[in-house]
Copies of this chain bind each other. A is one copy, B any other.
């Protein structure tokens, strides 16, 4: 961001601009204004970078990571491989199992996509392991975790800086059903109430900015008070935190640090668009990173779908970055297939929104697929499919005569014949 403000078009900007079919200079100006970010730690040069923000293709993040006793490093590495195969633009390591440093380093080593973390997890888990309670975490532990992760090349970090004592006081006297469901938010809630102290991410925000500036880390301002159910959506606590996040966006920009803002959560369908527009307004068009939103609470096992519905509407309304939700959400840790399902659901949501927003080139893909369908060109359909692996796995017979869906009664064929049009000349 610093270099963008100084007018420099970096190699990363040129590459992203080409990918998005933009003029590099236009991209530079958007980065300088803070409406677009390229998450890229300067210690970790990669082959490919991705831009996140207004007017660009909607990007998708996948969360992976160990949990105590239920997942090991090798399994997480295989989930990372699927994440990359499935075309996610970023991955976050949310590990809370043993040896967080070791797991992160194993995952980030050679990772070709943007890599994110949540420093509060490391600070609390290590305090818990050392002293038997996460409450023993010190402010220094938090700064230490941010620094250690920065030095490992992490590209973006969730910083839960909007949860203040004032917001907590509001929560205490509030009628939420699920209170705080952000895990980082719940750690901080416990810590702040126990120690009767302000949130260190907020009080020591300048130190965090300094680290971010040094390594060119993109800060992702976490929404600790995001709603955990439809009934809690868009309440005073959530919006109070959002106002503060908007102020912190300004401090990031003043420090020339790239910043994005995280958002809900569980949100009824008719409140999704409003939430996005409010967020964009209060945060001066900072790129918006949404977790879902899930448009119903009652479909455990299908939350990739509840999230795809909310994500598509959100992205069409201006959200820039979708955090996937897997079918395992609310039930357990995702397995490999759940990771695939989650990424594909988010990519579908993002792409459907890109078409609606008129993002450059988005609709061309669908047009090519439509032509392949009309020609009964199965090889081309496979190549154009968002997930060719799943395409191949479907039980089928497919030929120039039709497929196992309609048997001999193929509408594509019948109509071409009687309209006197050869197949696929459209």
Contact = CB atoms under 8 A, between A and B. Distances in A.
Interface of A: 67-70, 96-97, 124-125, 128, 134, 171-172, 175-183, 185-187, 189-190, 193-194, 228-232, 268-270, 295-302, 304-306, 308-309, 312-313, 316, 327-333, 335, 344-345, 347-349, 351-353, 355-357, 363, 365-367, 369-371, 373-374, 381, 384-387, 390-391, 393-398, 403-412, 414-419, 421, 426
A171 B370 contact: no
A190 B300 contact: no
B177 A125 contact: no
Contacts of A228: 370, 373-374
Given A70-B397, A229-B366, A301-B390, 14 more contacts: A176-B426, A177-B370, A181-B412, A186-B414, A193-B418, A232-B370, A270-B355, A299-B386, A302-B344, A309-B349, A327-B394, A328-B405, A332-B397, A332-B403
Interface of A is mostly: helix
B302 A387 contact: yes
Nearest to A178: B374
Contacts of A397: 70, 332
Contact of A415 (B179, B269, B373): B179
B366 A407 contact: no
Given A331-B403, A403-B331, A296 B394 contact: no
A230 B411 CA distance: 17
Contact of A186 (B357, B385, B390, B415): B415
Contact of A268 (B355, B373, B384, B410): B355
A190 B421 CA distance: 12
B270 A335 contact: no
B297 A366 contact: yes
Contacts of A175: 426
A323 to B, nearest CB: 15
Nearest to A124: B409
A183 B412 CA distance: 9
Contacts of A387: 299, 301-302
B405 A331 contact: yes
Given A305-B304, A370-B230, A407-B70, A190 B414 contact: yes
Contacts of A176: 426
Chain A to chain B: the 6 pairs with minimum beta-carbon distance, closest first: A229-B370, A186-B411, A301-B390, A68-B407, A270-B356, A332-B396
